[in-house]
């Protein structure tokens, strides 16, 4: 079984990837998408988006970070994949699932699911630049506004040479509305021979077990729940290995917040860094039920604080009480 930490634009960046992968449980993570249009991007763009490339392509915990590319020109995407590989990317992921109207309006992301042949061409061209020993996959949704093309798309991605396919079990117009249609994952899995990575609505151990049962998948990508429940992957592994599932104390979550805040010192935007910490804490207020109250109380305490160092001190003071 493989567990993958999903990309989340504007949230799961290098700082949060480092914290969550240090908790453990994930086999690899995928970067936020790097948008490519008409040219090979400069090296500095890759380093800025995925600083882990300066650390052999892994987080401080040793978890590989696969580079996600998004665009609609087969040769340009292929050339940028080659650039990423030359910089040490441990894997390449192609984004055909982004539901953003801005992205779709420019002919990228999930809108390409209306063009199965174009998806095939992009994957095929990229496969030619990605060494066979380097993991290479594509992420899709069930379609843009219907599911009529998904089997053809999945078969085309396999025929083009991808090693795996991640399927978010919703269409683009579904956005993130529940429920994810896991039954479609089973149909896709039965139509191809490469692994299908299940994505969508895996929010706790029970939903993981249900997704596994309905989809028949052995590999899973976790997105929003990984931020709400940073210990979820570790707990899932405990459940699948018939181990005692360890309850997570609020002090453990708070320590992650503190370490995240300290990491954010590396940013040159103090107010922005403070906002990032508060944003994650606000998300944790909707996380593990047993820790929601403590998260809400702490959020009220730092909600109006604008200086990162003040937040760090408050986290330390609170932790020592």
pLDDT, tens only, 152-202: 999 999 999 999 999 999 999 999 987 999 999 999 999 999 999 999 999
Query: DSSP string of 156-186?
Result: HHHHTT-SEEEEESS-TTTTTPSPP-HHHHH
Q: Residue 321 — very low, low, confident or very high, per pLDDT cuts 50/70/90?
A: very low
**What pLDDT is recorded for position 178?**
77
Contact 211, 183 (CB under 8 A): no
Angle subtended at Cα 164 by Cα 101 and Cα 14, rounded to the nearest 5 degrees: 60
What's the whole-model pTM score?
0.95
| Known catalytic residue at 98 | yes
Residue 319 reports pLDDT greater than 50: no
The CATH T-level fold of domain 2-240 is: TIM Barrel (3.20.20)
Q: Residue 315 — very low, low, confident or very high, per pLDDT cuts 50/70/90?
A: very high
Q: How far apart are CA 181 and CA 313, in angstroms?
A: 45
Contact 278, 299 (CB under 8 A): yes
Delimiting residues of CATH 3.20.20.70 domain(s) in the chain: 2-240
> What CATH number labels 250-320?
1.20.225.30
Judged by DSSP in three states, 28 sits in strand
Cα distances (Å, whole numbers) of residue 205 to 29, 83, 212, 289: 20, 38, 11, 13
The predicted model gives 272-281 an average pLDDT of 94
The predicted model gives 192-216 an average pLDDT of 97
Contact 168, 141 (CB under 8 A): yes
Provide the percentage of residues in the chain whose pLDDT is more than 70. Answer: 98
**What pLDDT is recorded for position 317?**
54
Delimiting residues of CATH 1.20.225.30 domain(s) in the chain: 250-320
The predicted model gives 1-28 an average pLDDT of 94
Provide the percentage of residues in the chain whose pLDDT is more than 90. Answer: 92
Query: DSSP string of 98-150?
Result: ---HHHHHTT-GGGGGG-HHHHHHHHHHHHTTS-TTS-EEEEEES-SS-STTH
Point out the catalytic residue in the list 29, 98, 211, 217.
98
């Amino acid at each position: 079984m493989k567990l993958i930490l999903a990309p989340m634009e504007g949230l799961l960046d290098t700082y949060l990837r480092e914290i969550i992968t240090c908790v453990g449980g994930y086999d690899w993570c995928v970067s936020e998408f790097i948008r490519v249009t008409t040219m090979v991007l400069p090296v500095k763009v890759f380093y800025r988006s995925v600083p882990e490339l300066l650390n052999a392509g892994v987080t401080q915990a040793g978890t590989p970070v696969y580079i996600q590319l998004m665009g609609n020109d087969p040769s340009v995407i292929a050339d940028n994949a080659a650039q990423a590989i030359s910089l040490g990317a441990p894997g390449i992921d192609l984004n055909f699932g982004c539901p953003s109207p801005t992205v779709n309006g420019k002919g990228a992301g999930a809108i390409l699911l209306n063009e199965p042949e174009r998806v095939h061409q992009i994957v095929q061209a990229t496969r030619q630049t990605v060494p066979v020993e380097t993991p290479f996959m594509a992420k899709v949704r069930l379609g843009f506004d219907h599911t009529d093309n998904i089997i053809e798309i999945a078969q085309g991605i396999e025929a083009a040479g991808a090693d795996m396919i991640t399927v978010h079990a919703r269409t683009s117009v579904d956005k993130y509305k529940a429920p994810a249609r896991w039954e479609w994952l089973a149909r896709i899995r039965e139509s191809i021979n490469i692994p299908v990575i299940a994505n969508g609505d895996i929010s706790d151990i029970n939903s993981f077990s249900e997704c596994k049962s309905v989809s028949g998948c052995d590999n899973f990508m976790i997105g929003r729940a990984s931020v709400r429940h940073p210990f979820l992957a570790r707990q899932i592994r405990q459940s699948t290995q018939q181990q005692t599932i360890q309850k997570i104390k609020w002090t453990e979550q708070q320590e992650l917040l503190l370490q995240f805040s300290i990491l954010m010192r590396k940013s040159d935007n103090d107010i922005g860094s403070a906002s990032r910490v508060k944003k994650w804490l606000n998300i944790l207020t909707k996380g593990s039920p047993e820790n929601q109250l403590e998260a809400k109380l702490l959020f009220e305490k730092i909600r109006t604080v604008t200086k990162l160092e003040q937040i760090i001190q408050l986290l330390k003071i609170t932790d020592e009480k």
